[in-house]
Every structure is written in structure tokens, then in C-alpha cells.
Amino acid sequence: MSQTEISFPFLPLPDGLVIASVSSKESCVIVHVACSLPSACCPLCGQSSERIHGDYTRTVADLPCAGRRVILRFSVRKFVCSTPLCLRKIFTERHTDLVRYYARMTNRLSEALQTLGFATCGELGERLAPKLGMSVSGPTLLRRMRTRACPPPSSVRILGIDDWCWKKGTTYGTILVDLELRKTIEILPDRTAETAEAWLSTHPEIEVVSRDRGGNYAVAARKGAPQAQQVADKFHLLKNLREEIKDFLARKQKWLPEAEEVSSDGVPLRAQGKNVNAILIESHLLIQK
């Protein structure tokens, strides 16, 4: 049995590609791959050609094997196009089923990084990838995630809208979330009222808009979705409550010292065996006076 036949179950390749040789190092496995087909088709005119102009070596990263990185080294041939009127006189053979003509990694590795990015996000995936035999940075994971196109929503009933940071302190956009499905459905390039209004006007089925306290989104919701009810999101509801309690305690500050208990050496009241709930009730009664 040949080496190529042994390697195929562990490293599947498209038809026409064969494994010429395999060499291993401590941290990676290098697989030399070549094409056995006698001809290739011009990507511009589609005409098949058997006239070889030359070749070069192309390095592509692949899925890891047993925790070690796998590097594919393609022996890629260049052909002369036989069509007289074709604008591309010399072209390179392509194997788009395995790797795109401009990519530095295989399609299956790119899909694996996308899955890893969606499961762990950028920073956590950057720490986990080396343990899985994949060398990748956080920004690369984010780029792979952004290449996956999400289908536009057919309809959205409860919409969440908030600003989103492209670059902290410099560039901000708008993120739109379907709160029933808990999925992001759109990211707008900025956070202006005009951009949000234009998007909202295309979705007349929206019934509720959950937003922050910013004036831009209030104006956008009022003009772009006048049929929708505007509500504050959970974060800003708690923020409003905190600010109201802070203002209330500031107004009643002169009554607070009368409700304080003198504790020696800063020992907590609960540690001293005192009922904290009773003290809070007594303080509330003093404030109401």
C-alpha cells in the first residue's frame, strides 16, 4: 500500500491532489501536496490547457493532527492559456474545494476558527487555540467571524437598540438585537438618528423598541417606528433607580447620623449579633419624619 493511500483517510484531499511526501517536526507536520491532473482550466475563459509554464511552492495552514499544526506545501503549476483572445495569458491552477486562491489557510481550518470564535469569543479563543494545535490571534478570529453572513431577519417584534464600539473612544456604531430570539440582526456604521431611522422605517412590524436614554435613538424611534412603544432597557432602569436612591439619600443626609449605630473597632453589626433588618427599618422611619 502506498503512502498516499495511507494518508488520505487522515488528510482528505479533493480529486486530483496527491500527497508527495510527509515530514514531521516537534511542533508541526509538513505535507507536500501536488496535482496529478494533466491539465487545468483558465479561470477567466474556462478553456482547458496542458501547456505548463512553470511552478512554485505555496504554503497553507490546515487543521491540526494529534495536537500538532499541519502545514500544506503545494507544488502549484502555471499554465499558458490556449485561447488567443483571452486576456489572461498565464494562469495558476486552483483548487477552491480545499483552499481559496488568495488564502493562507484551508477552507476547513477557516470554518473551524469561525466555530471556535463564536463559541469562545476573541480573547478566550486566542488562549485556547494553541492547545488545540492552531496558532491564531484574537483579531484573526474576529475577522473570520465577520466573514460569515447572517441572513436578514424576516420580521422583528421587540427590538433592542444601543450604541456599539468599533474602536473604543474613537468610532461607534449601532447594534440592533431581536430581544425575543436574543440574536444580533444588524450592525449600523454609526449611531446617528438618521441611520437608525432609515433602518427602522423598513420594519413597520416593530411593536416595542428598547433603548438607552440617548436622544438620538429616541428621535429615530419616534420618526422611523411611530407605531412602536419605547421602553428603557434593563441596564438603564437600574441606573435610573440607583441615581434616584442616591439623590434621595443626599436630600435626607441630615437624618442619617441619628440612625447610625456606634460600633467599636469597626466590627460589622451582624458580627456583633445585632439585627440588621431592624436597624434598617428604624432608619427608614427616622427618614420619614
Q: Could you give the dihedral angle defined by the CA atoms of residues 176, 182, 185 and 191, in that order, rounded to the nearest 10 degrees?
A: 10
pLDDT value of position 284 = 57
pTM of the model: 0.56
Domains identified in the chain and CATH numbers: 3-103 (no CATH), 112-146 (no CATH), 158-235 (3.30.420.10), 252-288 (no CATH)
Q: Is residue 125 within a helix (H) or strand (E), and if so which, with residue range?
A: helix 107-128
Q: What percent of the chain has pLDDT over 90?
A: 22
pLDDT value of position 10 = 75
Distances (CA, A) of 13 to 35, 53, 108: 10, 25, 11
25 exposed, middle or buried (CB, 10 Å; 0-12, 13-18, 19+)?
Answer: exposed
C-alpha to C-alpha distance for 163 and 212, rounded to whole angstroms = 9
**More confident call, 155 vs 219:** 219
pLDDT value of position 129 = 85
Report pLDDT digits (tens) over 36-63: 899 999 988 989 999 999 999 999 999 9
C-alpha to C-alpha distance for 95 and 60, rounded to whole angstroms = 12
173 exposed, middle or buried (CB, 10 Å; 0-12, 13-18, 19+)?
Answer: middle
pLDDT value of position 42 = 92
Helix (H/G/I), strand (E/B), else coil: 220: helix
Which of 87-91, 120-124, 278-282 ranks highest by mean pLDDT? Answer: 87-91
Give the least confident one: 8-12, 142-146, 168-172: 8-12
Report pLDDT digits (tens) over 95-145: 888 998 888 899 999 888 888 888 887 778 888 888 888 888 888 888 888
Helix (H/G/I), strand (E/B), else coil: 178: strand
Position 79 pLDDT exceeds 90: yes
pLDDT value of position 4 = 43
C-alpha to C-alpha distance for 131 and 13, rounded to whole angstroms = 25
